[in-house]
């Protein structure tokens, strides 16, 4: 049960990451590799501010720092004209040093026994089981950010950002500042990613410089799994499906972990295969449908 609840908790927290990746990957239509750096930045900032005694402020600070990181990638892409993939890589590697600096030149900062927001809530909501409190934190945060993003992408600014992702030439010819929109979009995207790191750091009880390794793959897989379930329709549905995809991804990982059939070193392959199978379901269904229609056509002829 811990594993199932844990997958839900983690899925919701990493759902923020998935929404961030959705914004750059689907709304802005640009591959952004800043995630590995900005996630760790969120982890680091949140841990240090928590150590200073302000866990909630840590979340906000992490979000703002993530926005700044995304802004830098945006500037590199638009103002300096660096290829989007390279711009992300540059920011990501630069952030490595900044993250170490944030953590006081140490690669690991412990939050065990410190006043994280979870510890504070455990005390406040005392009779509730800890797992439920953790789930509530994940759900409240995910829903809050989801609501804000849905609202944001319906405002004038949000609509301009979406338009830039859809058709940059059209946006420019309507004399909207397309570069500014890109920078803003990447800032919001990386803000969400850093916020995800911020809550994960307090959840897992430590910050480590390697926290971000492989995180982009997690985010992308979550977005695509979500799309396999809901299809690609509106931005609102896309954001919702990113969170659902993230939860499903965690459940997949937990299944790979609890299957004792394969040796331990199979973990990555098993999770890759399960994700691939989940993703191929819509296509397979389509093929089956086509085959059925063809068969019926022949029968009629």
Partner 1 sequence: MKKLIAILSALILVLSFAVSANAEAAKTYTVGIIQMADNGAFTDMREGYIARMRELGYTEDKMTFDYQNAQGDMSNLASICQAMIDKKVDYVVTIATPPSQAFLNMGSDIPMFFLSVSNPVGAGIITDMAKPDKNATGTSNAIPVEEMFKLSAKLTPNVKTYGLIYCTSEVNSMTTITKAKAYMDANGLKYVEAVVTNSGEVQQAVQSLIGRVDAIFVPNDSVVQTALTVVADAAKEAKIPVYGSSAVMVASGAFATISISDTQIGQMTAEMSNQYLKGTAIADIPAVVVSDFTMVINKTTAEAIGVTIADDILSTAKIIE
User: What is the contact surface with partner 1 in residues (CB under 8 A)?
Assistant: 1-7, 10, 14, 93, 96, 100, 106-108, 110-114, 130, 200, 203-206, 208-211, 213-215, 218, 229-230, 244, 248, 250-255, 257-260, 264-265, 267-268, 278, 281-282
Query: Which of 162, 137, 140 has its CA nearest to residue 152?
Result: 162
Using an 8 Å Cβ cutoff, are 66 and 41 in contact?
Answer: yes
Tokens of 294: 């063809």
CB of 176 to partner 1, least distance (A): 36
Decide whether 176 or 274 has the Cβ nearer to partner 1: 274
Nearest to 43 by CA among 119, 121, 103, 105: 103
CB 24 to partner 1: min, Å: 19
Distance in Å, CB of 232 to partner 1, minimum: 14
Smallest separation, CB 221 to partner 1 (Å): 11
Task: For the CB of residue 9, give the shortest distance to partner 1 in the complex, in Å.
Answer: 8
Q: Which of 99, 42, 26 is nearest to 215 (CA)?
A: 42
Q: Which is nearer to partner 1, 49 or 103 (CB)?
A: 103
Q: Nearer Cβ to partner 1, position 180 or 205?
A: 205
Q: Which is nearer to partner 1, 183 or 278 (CB)?
A: 278
Comparing C-alpha atoms, which of 36, 27, 25 is closest to residue 222? 25
According to DSSP H, which parts of 23-155 are helical? Answer: 35-51, 55-78, 84-102, 117-124, 130-152
Closer to partner 1 by CB, 114 or 179: give it.
114
- Closest to partner 1 by CB, 151 vs 266, is 266
Q: Is the CB of residue 205 less than 8 Å from the CB of residue 112? A: yes
Closest approach of partner 1 to the CB of residue 211, in Å? 5
Name the strand (E) or helix (H) holding 109: strand 108-110
Q: Closest separation between CB of residue 69 and partner 1, Å?
A: 18
Please state the closest distance from residue 241 (CB atom) to partner 1, in A.
10
Instruction: Give the nearer residue to partner 1 in terms of CB position, either 188 or 228.
Output: 228
Q: DSSP state, 261?
A: S
Task: Name residue 110's beta-bridge partners.
Answer: 206
d(CA 123, CA 141): 19
Beta bridge partners of 206: 110
Cβ closer to partner 1: 77 or 99?
Answer: 99
Closest-CA residue to 236 (of 157, 154, 144, 141): 154
Residue position matching structure tokens 């800890």: 130
């Amino acid at each position: 049960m811990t594993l199932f609840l844990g997958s839900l908790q983690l899925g919701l927290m990493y759902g923020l990451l998935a929404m961030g990746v959705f914004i750059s990957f689907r709304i802005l239509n640009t591959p952004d590799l800043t995630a590995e750096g900005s996630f760790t930045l969120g982890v680091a900032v949140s841990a240090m501010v928590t150590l200073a005694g302000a866990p909630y402020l840590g979340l906000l600070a992490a979000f703002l720092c993530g926005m700044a990181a995304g802004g830098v990638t945006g500037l590199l892409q638009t103002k300096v004209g660096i290829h989007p993939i390279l711009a992300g890589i540059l920011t990501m590697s630069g952030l490595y040093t900044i993250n170490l600096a944030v953590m006081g030149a140490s690669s690991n900062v412990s939050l065990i026994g410190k006043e994280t927001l979870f510890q504070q809530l455990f005390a406040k909501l005392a009779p509730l089981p800890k797992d439920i409190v953790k789930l509530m934190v994940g759900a409240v945060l995910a829903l809050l950010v989801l609501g804000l993003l849905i609202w944001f992408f319906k405002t004038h600014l949000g609509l301009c950002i979406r338009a830039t992702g859809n058709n940059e030439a059209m946006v420019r010819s309507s004399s909207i500042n397309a570069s500014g929109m890109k920078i803003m979009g990447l800032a919001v995207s990386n803000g969400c990613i850093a916020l995800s790191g911020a809550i994960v750091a307090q959840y897992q009880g430590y910050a480590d410089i390697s926290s971000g390794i492989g995180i982009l793959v997690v985010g992308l897989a979550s977005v695509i799994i979500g799309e396999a379930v809901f299809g690609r329709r509106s931005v609102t549905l896309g954001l919702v499906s990113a969170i659902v995809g993230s939860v499903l991804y965690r459940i997949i990982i937990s299944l790979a972990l609890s299957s004792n059939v394969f040796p331990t070193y199979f973990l990555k392959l098993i999770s890759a295969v399960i994700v691939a199978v989940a993703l191929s379901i819509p296509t397979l269904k389509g093929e089956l449908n086509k085959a059925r229609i063809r068969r019926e056509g022949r029968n009629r002829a």
